[in-house]
Amino acid sequence: MRQIGLILENGFQVMGLSALSAFELANTELGQDAYRMTILSQNGGTVRSTIGVGIETTTLGDMPDTLMVAGIRIPGPLNPELRSYISRAGSEARRVAGVCTGAFVLAEAGLLDGKTATTHWLHARRLQERFPEVRVDEDRIFVQDGNIWTSAGMSAAMDLALALIENDHGAALARNVARRLVVYFRRPGGQSQFSALLELEPRTDRVTRALTYAKEHLRNPLTVEELADAARLSPRQFSRIFREETGQSPAKAVEMLRLEAARAMLEDGRHPMDTVARDAGFADRDRMRRAFVRAYGLPPSSLRRNAAFADAESME
């Protein structure tokens, strides 16, 4: 049985606890207690979240197989005892994981020196400024560098937990756990923290409906007429309202959605370039290449190589 220890501090964010649900459901899928979860804190007793919910914790003791550190809204200096415990985990635990701003805790304990790590994009620059010896990748869902894992914020705790389960028991179990959780099967670690839909920030249901339709039908031509029909507006009305709400033309927004889908497929590394171009709606590789160079300054092949290199480097 593998023990998962999750360290909480006052001011932790409740969503960080979601990772434990994944391990609980892994036990259900396996039909045995493959994981035992313990919630830890420096002094034990009740630890309160940002919304005032209290969680009973156990004092620090024997080192677990996997030590996880939940994020808090405003990371502060570590108590020396807690810093020492987490520092020892780097060599005594099989894995150490920082969820969201938990990366600050790992960095202060010296576990991220010379390593690549991520955190919530809102805090990434501050992490880099406070700990310049850390290679901060602010646009990753999660990062593994040796036995140290870090993740972005909020829902990325679930992606991290699924990745840890896959690391232990394989993709099939992680996929079944994801189904039970009713979440998308683990987003690739290299996937961007940003979403084109969130970046466009539509204000009305009509424009949101058109963008959702576009995301679900990327293989279609997605002309203004097709999108206007999804929004239940005339093409002229749709073009005007769309630009007012998003600041982009419909064609530019569709290209952003196609690029996001293609990039995720490329970073996943399992799809031929022609398949990526077709499924993302670019029609052919050359058109996809031109779009990538415009958006990222690099062709798709370079982004795929960079993702493969980062994954290989994290396994060393």
Handedness of CA 312, 19, 191, 139 (dihedral sign): negative
Q: Is position 100 annotated as part of the catalytic site?
A: yes
**CA-closest candidate to residue 84, choices 113, 63, 54, 55:** 63
Active-site option among 68, 100, 107, 310:
100
By annotation, the residues acting in catalysis are: 100
